[in-house]
């Protein structure tokens, strides 16, 4: 389910160090480049991207709007409704040996890397078959076998971790990259700045991806930073920064492709700021009353899934009948995942002490 080098844009050009500069105003790819991208990527990868966007939306809707409200999920529920294009458009470009450091709005990254809806739902329900074996009941999950690093609530903590992973790749001379995701609020933390500075100094193969949904919980961007854009901070670290339309999956794909190529070429990290909007509260218990209805309606019209569907229909990559069939498939897949997760047992009390420290299997 992942794209490899052969799926990259054929006219890709790795910029020289002299060409590195902050890209201003280039958020969407534009009609001409959009059409060129569509036909260079290929029909099957494009349809896979739509599938993962729709699967992510349905999975998170089931988690937030049904299971949580039914009392089957206890604890924090954080979803990325309206932000699916970011993790899909970027993570779909990773190779199996690359490493991904997702955050709590990046469900598609978990799915694309091979983590499954049944086990993810079991994770949320605190069941033994979840990724933390019932020790946790939210998205603090990962799978090192799939090269997905778990995250914690301090959301910039994964930034220096990604730099450390990138340093290991560089020291071992491995052709691998790291994708690291975070929100706009994380960029105001000290460890975020430390991680970017170190990655830039060492020219590490890391792509830093900001889900700028304009609110850190209820704090708007303009009240947490003095610069207009997160990407404006990149030049201070000698790093390429780029502003991307985060609701345009093809724009995210195109920007990430170039950033990954730079990383593999030894040109160091890139900071991608994906402008988007959180089409829900910070968490399931937040009604987002601090955002006006007009703003929600405006961004609803920019929904990344319906927007991408229109592109694929226009370019004759998929028919409406195929989209409807895909939606039915996704619903059936999530229905089966819910049934499986609910049949998973709860952990035994003594299990909480297992796997905490290293245990020799011999």
Per the CB < 8 A criterion, the answer to whether 256 and 209 are in contact is yes
Which residue is listed with tokens 């050009």? 13
Say how far apart CA 320 and CA 306 lie, in whole Å: 11
pLDDT of residue 163: 98
Per residue in 14-51, pLDDT (tens digit) is 333 323 344 434 456 667 678 888 989 999 999 999 99
- Would you place residue 4 in the very low, low, confident or very high pLDDT band (cuts 50, 70, 90)? very low
Per residue in 177-198, pLDDT (tens digit) is 999 999 999 999 999 999 999 9
**Inter-CA distances, 51 with 115, 131, 236, 313, Å:** 15, 23, 38, 14
Per the CB < 8 A criterion, the answer to whether 178 and 205 are in contact is yes
For the chain, give every domain's residue range.
23-337
Question: Residue 241: how many CB atoms within 10 A of its CB?
Answer: 25
pLDDT of residue 343: 97
233, pLDDT greater than 80: yes
Say how far apart CA 63 and CA 39 lie, in whole Å: 35
- Would you place residue 213 in the very low, low, confident or very high pLDDT band (cuts 50, 70, 90)? very high
Mean pLDDT of 272-297: 89
- Would you place residue 10 in the very low, low, confident or very high pLDDT band (cuts 50, 70, 90)? very low
Span of 29-43, 51-65, 282-296, 300-314 with lowest mean pLDDT: 29-43
Say how far apart CA 359 and CA 22 lie, in whole Å: 48
Say how far apart CA 74 and CA 248 lie, in whole Å: 33
- Would you place residue 283 in the very low, low, confident or very high pLDDT band (cuts 50, 70, 90)? confident
Nearest CA-CA partner of 97 in 178, 33, 27? 178
Could you give the 3-state DSSP secondary structure of residue 143? strand
Question: DSSP readout, 265-285?
Answer: TT---EEEEEE---SS-SSTT
pLDDT of residue 13: 34
Per the CB < 8 A criterion, the answer to whether 68 and 121 are in contact is no
Say how far apart CA 236 and CA 142 lie, in whole Å: 32
The DSSP element (H or E) to which 118 belongs, if any, is: helix 117-124
Nearest CA-CA partner of 56 in 245, 250, 287, 305? 305
Question: Residue 106: how many CB atoms within 10 A of its CB?
Answer: 29
**Inter-CA distances, 190 with 56, 154, 203, 294, 355, Å:** 31, 11, 20, 34, 31
The pTM assigned to this predicted structure is: 0.89
pLDDT of residue 20: 39
Nearest CA-CA partner of 291 in 7, 16, 1, 299? 299
Give the domain 23-337 fold: Rossmann fold (3.40.50)
């Amino acid at each position: 389910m992942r794209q490899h080098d052969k799926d990259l844009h054929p006219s890709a050009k790795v910029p020289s160090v002299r060409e590195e500069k902050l890209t201003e105003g280039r958020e969407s790819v534009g009609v001409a480049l959009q059409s060129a991208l569509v036909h260079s990527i290929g029909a099957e990868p494009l349809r896979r991207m739509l599938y993962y966007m729709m699967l992510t939306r349905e999975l998170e809707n089931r988690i937030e709007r049904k299971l949580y409200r039914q009392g089957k999920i206890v604890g924090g529920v954080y979803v990325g409704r309206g932000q699916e294009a970011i993790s899909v458009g970027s993570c779909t470009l990773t190779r199996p040996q690359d490493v991904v450091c997702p955050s709590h709005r990046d469900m598609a990254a978990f799915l694309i890397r091979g983590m499954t809806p049944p086990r993810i739902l079991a994770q949320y329900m605190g069941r033994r078959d979840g990724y933390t074996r019932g020790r946790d009941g939210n998205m603090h999950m990962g799978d090192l076998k799939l090269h997905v690093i778990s995250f914690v609530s301090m959301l910039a903590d994964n930034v220096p971790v990604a730099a450390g992973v990138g340093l290991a790749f560089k020291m071992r001379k491995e052709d691998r990259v790291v994708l690291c995701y975070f929100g706009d609020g994380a960029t105001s933390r000290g460890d975020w700045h430390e991680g970017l500075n170190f990655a830039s100094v060492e020219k590490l193969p890391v792509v830093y991806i900001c889900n700028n949904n304009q609110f850190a919980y209820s704090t708007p961007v303009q009240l947490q930073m003095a610069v207009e854009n997160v990407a404006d901070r990149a030049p201070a670290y000698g790093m390429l920064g780029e502003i991307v339309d985060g609701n345009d999956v093809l724009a995210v794909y195109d920007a990430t492709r170039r950033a990954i190529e730079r990383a593999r070429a030894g040109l160091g990290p890139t900071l991608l700021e994906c402008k988007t909007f959180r089409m829900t509260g910070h968490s399931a218990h937040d009604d987002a009353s601090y955002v006006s209805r007009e703003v929600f309606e405006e961004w609803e019209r920019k929904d990344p899934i319906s927007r991408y569907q229109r592109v694929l229909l226009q370019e004759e990559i998929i028919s409406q009948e195929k989209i409807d069939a895909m939606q039915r498939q996704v619903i059936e897949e999530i229905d089966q995942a819910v049934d499986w997760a609910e049949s998973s047992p709860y952990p035994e009390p003594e299990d909480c002490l297992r796997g905490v420290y290293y245990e020799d299997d011999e």
